[in-house]
Amino acid sequence: MDEALLRSLTPSVLAVLVRRGADFAAAEDAVQDALVEAVRVWPSDMPREPKGWLVTVAWRRFLDATRADAARRRREGLVEEEPAPGPSPAVDDTLQLYFLCAHPSLTPSSAVALTLRAVGGLTTRQIARAYLVPEATMAQRISRAKRTLAGNGVTRAPGKTEAGRRFDRPGDVATVLRVLYLVFNEGYSGDVDLAAEAIRLTRQVAALVDHPEAAGLLALMLLHHARRPARTASDGSLVPLAEQDRGRWDTEAITEGVAILQAALARDRLGEFQAQAAIAALHADAPTAEETDWVQIVEWYDELAGLTDNPVVRLNRAVAVGEADGPRAGLAALAALDPSLPRHAAVAAYLHERDGDPVAAARLYAEAAHKAPDLAERDHLTRQAARLNARRPR
């Protein structure tokens, strides 16, 4: 039984049903039924057209369920329109599914869960384990998302409502890309690597959508992911960029990411993801930390600051300025920012240390550790403070 094949077919089968006018929740139930049937039948009787088989079975299930409904007469017309089974053009259908899952009426967490389930083909249990919540909680989150979509009439009339809309506005793509970026940033725990899953899905979107930001996001994910093996030591502690063993970076992923980015930049429609990917590429490109082209990185941060009002960008820019023009310049850039920003104290500590003030740096590292949002970062910052304090006579 080829589970990977089933998983890869799931979204396009679901998309066909939705395009034919099935309510999203009903379509999903029907597809789940068809998958169960496939697991039962295929090992002894593999169909020649697996996708066509799934569409046919799922559509029958959907019609069976619909016929039993009170809305029977109204929907029976759909039977007449039933297209012949067999392969159908999947491209636009799958895109519509992405758009549906990233619908603005969903909260970010619901959009992420629904995307993983409907487009990624993950089971509710897998998603629940990745997010460390009970399966019942995740099941409710997903069915709530489906109800929200149904409640908005989003999927009811194909071709007329938003489900029938094509990906032709940059805003639509932006919503989908944001959802995928959220998935990527969740990292991983349990048996599903959400970062790898996000890359797989973004790869699909980038292949289907002619938009430089889709390519930009794919490049960004590849470049970050390439450095992941070097980001933590074997004991789980954080390794800062400058100290990472660059031999452990995935050069193939870096090469691919850079090539995708260059093709995207050549189209001259700059966006946030492309600019972030450009910064990641400059880091990935340096043979050693000392050879990093900080001047160019500052220029990209300036571009990025023009594209987004995210204050974290300006904080990162202050770090880059500190490297390009010295710690004093970095501290001056930092002084213009709100001290309550996340990681503000950590950046200040680093710049003060480089400026030759270990006392202020140790105090700020300790303050930053107190505010750190995750364990690895807290431990890392605590060690930095301890390292500086150990050098001073008690």
Partner 1 sequence: MAKYLLLKHYRGAPAPANDVPMDRWTPEEISAHMQYMHDFAARLEKTGEFVDGQALAPEGAWVRYDGEGRPPVTDGPFAETKDLIAGWMVIDVDGYERAVELAGELSAAPGAGGKPIHEWLEVRPFLTAPPTITE
Rounded to whole angstroms, how far apart are CA atoms 346 and 252?
32
Applying CB under 8 A, the site for partner 1 has a residue count of: 38
DSSP secondary structure string, 75-91? Answer: HHHHHHTPPPSS----H
| Tokens at 146, concatenated | 């489906």
Degrees, nearest 5: CA angle 286-291-297: 70
Please report whether residue 241 would count as binding partner 1 according to CB under 8 A.
yes
Smaller CB separation from partner 1, 133 or 337: 133
Please report whether residue 383 would count as binding partner 1 according to CB under 8 A.
no
Element holding 192 (H helix, E strand) = strand 192-193
Degrees, nearest 5: CA angle 215-220-221: 100
Torsional class of 377: left (φ above 0), alpha (ψ -120 to 50), beta (otherwise): alpha
Residue 189 CB, shortest distance to partner 1, in Å, is 6
Among 228, 246, 354, 387, binds partner 1 (CB under 8 A): 228
Q: Is 193 helix (H, G, I), strand (E, B) or coil?
A: strand
Span from 15-23, 35-43, 182-190, 290-298 in contact with partner 1 (CB under 8 A): 182-190
**Among candidate residues 343, 348, 331, 354, the one with its CA nearest the CA of residue 378:** 343
Please report whether residue 133 would count as binding partner 1 according to CB under 8 A.
yes
Residue 171: count other Cβ atoms within 10 Å of its Cβ: 7
Rounded to whole angstroms, how far apart are CA atoms 301 and 273?
12
Among 103, 146, 283, 317, binds partner 1 (CB under 8 A): 283
Please report whether residue 103 would count as binding partner 1 according to CB under 8 A.
no
Span from 155-163, 185-193, 202-210, 247-255 in contact with partner 1 (CB under 8 A): 185-193
Please report whether residue 238 would count as binding partner 1 according to CB under 8 A.
yes
Please report whether residue 92 would count as binding partner 1 according to CB under 8 A.
no
Residue 278: count other Cβ atoms within 10 Å of its Cβ: 26
Residue 259 CB, shortest distance to partner 1, in Å, is 21
Please report whether residue 256 would count as binding partner 1 according to CB under 8 A.
no
Residue 107 CB, shortest distance to partner 1, in Å, is 6
Q: What is the DSSP letter of 211?
A: -
Degrees, nearest 5: CA angle 25-204-214: 105
Please report whether residue 25 would count as binding partner 1 according to CB under 8 A.
no
Residue 354 CB, shortest distance to partner 1, in Å, is 17
Q: Is 262 helix (H, G, I), strand (E, B) or coil?
A: helix
Q: What is the DSSP letter of 291?
A: G
Span from 4-12, 78-86, 108-116, 302-310 in contact with partner 1 (CB under 8 A): 108-116
Residue 277 CB, shortest distance to partner 1, in Å, is 12
Please report whether residue 249 would count as binding partner 1 according to CB under 8 A.
no
Please report whether residue 175 would count as binding partner 1 according to CB under 8 A.
no
Element holding 188 (H helix, E strand) = strand 188-189
Please report whether residue 136 would count as binding partner 1 according to CB under 8 A.
yes
Smaller CB separation from partner 1, 214 or 381: 381
Residue 96 CB, shortest distance to partner 1, in Å, is 24
Please report whether residue 376 would count as binding partner 1 according to CB under 8 A.
yes
Return residues touching partner 1 (CB under 8 A): 107-110, 113, 131-134, 136-138, 140-142, 144, 184-187, 189, 195, 224-225, 227-228, 231-232, 238, 241, 283, 372-378
